[in-house]
Amino acid sequence: MRVDSMLDDLRTLVEVESPSRDLDALGASAKTVAEVIESRLGGQAVLVESEAGPHVHWSGGGDPRVLILGHHDTVFPLGTLERRPFRVADGRATGPGVFDMLGGLVQAVHGLAALDDLSGVEILVTADEEVGSGSSRALIEERARACGAVLVFEGAADGGGLKTGRKGCGTFQVSITGRASHAGLEPAAGVNALIEAAHQVLAIDGLNRPEAGTTVTPTVASAGTLDNVVPAAATVIVDVRVESAAEQERIESAFAALVPHLDEARISVRGAVGRPPMPEAASAELFEVARRLQPGIEGKAVGGGSDGNFTAALGVPTLDGLGAVGGGAHADHEYLVVDAMVPRARLVTGLVEAIRASREA
């Protein structure tokens, strides 16, 4: 297992930009991912077409035992590579998507390549994780049920830890309808959607329950057209994170029950907690295997969601954060620690061997 070969593959993936929802770019990226998989593992990687772009599926044959799960879409728009090209310096690899999560894909493939037998192993690399996995969720769940164990190659937690739990996450949009009027001549004839939005933001903020791990954060608001017109419409977008199914139900019920504060204002709500919580119990068995393979490795529960939330919610053992060690996800300072690549790939090898042995016993 050679780090220079891993970096070559990482460069290949990074230099094919893959912003979510850009179907042409994702088509090119999927083909490149498939070529890297086939060159290292043999066999044929199948492109599964979807409205969000192609997903990549590969199987080593035999009875499915373990699913390697990742995504090839990134948050960075076309042109980012020109401004921030792939580079290796001072022990770090940088470039769009190195940490989230192209480095993890490379480590997974090279870890599998060290196995003498690839039977029972499947790889699924989706095209829409960064935008909610709407087109891939059913396929993810199908293959997770079939395999019975899932290893997720999102970037590692701080310090290189594995992600043993994740909050459920979702987005809500609160749309407010008022009535326009002249702000100087007859302001009272209007129904000010901006003022109604302010009331709703305060009510939404009151849904926070940090002691239960719940965060409810208004993140984007818009209202109004001109400075002399009472706003007839407003929109508030809210990020929600929850640790339990009970909190998910409470939050969804609370958004459904929002009512206007101003006479004649109207409210509509869209959204849900789209990714269910990933409880630490879902990762406990696989995390113990990882600790035997690499004593001292830590496990952390984190606030961000991944496709592992879906597989854990099915009751399928799921271990996340097996990808790159580094940081700066979704930011210009994103980086990957080069010296950690080979040890992480070896962890993949050991985990797959242990999972197959336990299921064959």
71 close to 126: Cβ distance less than 8 angstroms:
yes
Euclidean distance between the first and final Cα of the chain, in Å? 29
| β-bridge pairing 66-71 and 121-126 | parallel
pLDDT band at residue 319 under the 50/70/90 scheme: very high
Q: Is 76 exposed, middle or buried (0-12, 13-18, 19+ CB in 10 A)?
A: buried
Please tell me the number of Cα atoms within 13 Å of 103 on its side-chain side: 35
10 pLDDT exceeds 80?
yes
Q: Is 216 helix (H, G, I), strand (E, B) or coil?
A: strand
**Cα(172)–Cα(237) distance, integer angstroms:** 6
CA-based R_g, the chain, Å: 23
Over the stretch 158-205, which tens digit does the pLDDT of each residue have?
999 999 999 999 999 999 999 999 999 999 999 999 999 999 999 999
Q: Does the predicted model carry a pTM greater than 0.95?
A: no
- The mean pLDDT of the chain is 97
Could you tell me which CATH number the domain at 3-167+278-360 has?
3.40.630.10
pLDDT band at residue 361 under the 50/70/90 scheme: low
**Cα(301)–Cα(308) distance, integer angstroms:** 13
**Cα(242)–Cα(300) distance, integer angstroms:** 16
- As annotated, the residues of the chain forming the CATH 3.30.70.360 domain(s) are 175-275
Over the stretch 244-291, which tens digit does the pLDDT of each residue have?
999 999 999 999 999 999 999 999 999 999 999 999 999 999 999 999
**Cα(336)–Cα(253) distance, integer angstroms:** 41
pLDDT band at residue 212 under the 50/70/90 scheme: very high
- As annotated, the residues of the chain forming the CATH 3.40.630.10 domain(s) are 3-167+278-360
CATH of 175-275, one of 3.40.50.1970, 3.40.50.2000, 3.40.50.300, 3.30.70.360: 3.30.70.360
336 close to 86: Cβ distance less than 8 angstroms:
no
**Cα(192)–Cα(291) distance, integer angstroms:** 58
| pLDDT score, position 360 | 73
| pLDDT score, position 304 | 87
Beta strand extents in 12-74 (DSSP E only): 46-48, 55-59, 66-71
Q: Find residue 151's DSSP bridge partners.
A: 68, 319
pLDDT cut 90: percent of the chain above it: 98
| Cα torsion through 108, 112, 118, 124, rounded to 10 | 10
